[in-house]
Amino acid sequence: MLPIVKGLIEGDRRSLARAISIVDNQEPESRQIIREIFGRTGKARTVGFTGPGGAGKSSLVGRLIPECQALGHRVAVLAVDPTSPITGGAILGDRVRMLANLEDERVFMRSMASRGAVGGVSKSLRNAIRVLDAAGYDLILVESVGAGQLEIEITKVVDLTVVLFTPNTGDNVQAVKAGLTEVGDVYVVNKADIDGAGPLYNIIKEMIGETERKPAVLKVSAKTGRGVRELAHSIEKLLKERSINYKEREKRMLEDELKDMVTDIVEQKVASMLATDKRYAAIIEKLARKETDPYVAAEEVAAGLFR
Ligand SMILES: Nc1nc2c(ncn2[C@@H]2O[C@H](COP(=O)(O)OP(=O)(O)OP(=O)(O)O)[C@@H](O)[C@H]2O)c(=O)[nH]1
Ligand SMILES: [Mg+2]
């Protein structure tokens, strides 16, 4: 067993932090770490927090930590910021905001830099979750920073998604457009302490809460703490309900992952084959001279590759 794996299993926080960096950066050692811990994973449950910038995701996660600990969980937090090169300012800000919790030995926090394509982020995240799972953290809260396609991607990797809205940003419409109204298991109107939270809550309740999925819609204030305990209990309840079919869902998630990974491998193979294929170069020339068309050319190249 790798010393780092032994360390993280035995509760050494430095080994844990190092292992997460390795899988996040997809360093070569990452393969062996995952191979060694894979059999120990499957116990942790994961909750994603998504929503427009400044909605209060970090603040709310900070508030939820003690509530979830009170329910008996060993909590870890991952903040995913794909836009940030290694340690961006946004994450640092979050770190400061969560400083109170950082001093608490029972919680483990980490921001992930996962650069690169959408697939890279989910791969890093899946593996970071595995590392935390093997280290004995049974509840992992994942904050995703930034909006759009990536956030939707992240929701596929977690067991449960909490979508935050807040009255004082113009980003709500953006969030609706980005498809966040379809991915939530729980919808939260944060900043209940300020004007506009009530009307926004009513709108969301009507727009999303009444759909067939009937997701929970809650009003909270991460500032005053109002509603946070209720949210922790809702999350707990939903996770319990889902645990009944957990094996089945895990299998589906693994299938998604495998498909991503096979696609990656094939893509790389194809790229390297094309780079050295003389016929490919010739077909490009033919295309440029308009002696063939893109459909025929593509079929011809693909047929050559898979022969
Ligand atoms: N009034 C009020 N302010 C809040 C509440 N929750 C968070 N805030 C404030 O809103 C701002 C953004 O909070 P964050 O927790 O950093 O929000 P975030 O969603 O993590 O932001 P990003 O990570 O940058 O997307 C901060 O100034 C918070 O103090 C709340 O319930 N009420
Ligand atoms: Mg944040």
pLDDT band of residue 287 (cuts 50, 70, 90) is very high
Locate the domains of the chain by residue range.
Answer: 39-244, 255-305
CA of 288 to the centre of ligand 2 (A): 49
Instruction: Indicate whether 283 pLDDT > 80.
Output: yes
Cβ–ligand 1 distance for 53 under 6 Å, the answer: yes
Give the whole-angstrom CA distance, residue 197 versus residue 120.
Answer: 36
Q: Which residues of 176-209 are buried (b: 16+ CB within 10 A; e: fewer)?
A: eebebbebbbbbbbbbbeeeebeebbeebeeebb
pLDDT at 173: 63
Q: Given a cut of 90, is residue 204 above it in pLDDT?
A: no
Q: Express as a percent the part of the chain with pLDDT over 70.
A: 85
Mean pLDDT in the chain? 86
Give me the residues near ligand 2 (ion), CB cutoff below 5 Å. 57-58, 94
Q: Which CATH number fits domain 39-244: 3.40.190.10, 3.40.190.290, 3.40.50.300, 3.30.1330.180?
A: 3.40.50.300
Q: Is 108 helix (H, G, I), strand (E, B) or coil?
A: strand
pLDDT at 280: 93
Which residue in 61, 72, 64 sits closest to 137, CA to CA?
72
Does ligand 1 have an atom closer than 6 angstroms to the CB of 223?
yes
Q: Please state the pTM of the whole predicted model.
A: 0.86
What is the per-residue pLDDT across 101-144, written as a single tens digit (0 to 9) for each?
Answer: 555 678 888 888 766 555 678 888 999 999 999 999 999 999 98
Phi, psi values for residue 258, rounded to 5°: -60, -45
Instruction: Give per-residue pLDDT as tens, 188-203.
Output: 999 999 988 888 898 8
Ligand 1 atom showing the smallest separation from residue 81 Cα: 23
DSSP run (H or E) holding 187: strand 186-189
Residue 299 has what pLDDT? Answer: 94
Pairing mode of beta strands 139-144, 45-50? parallel
Q: How far does residue 165's CA lie from ligand 1's centre (Å)?
A: 11
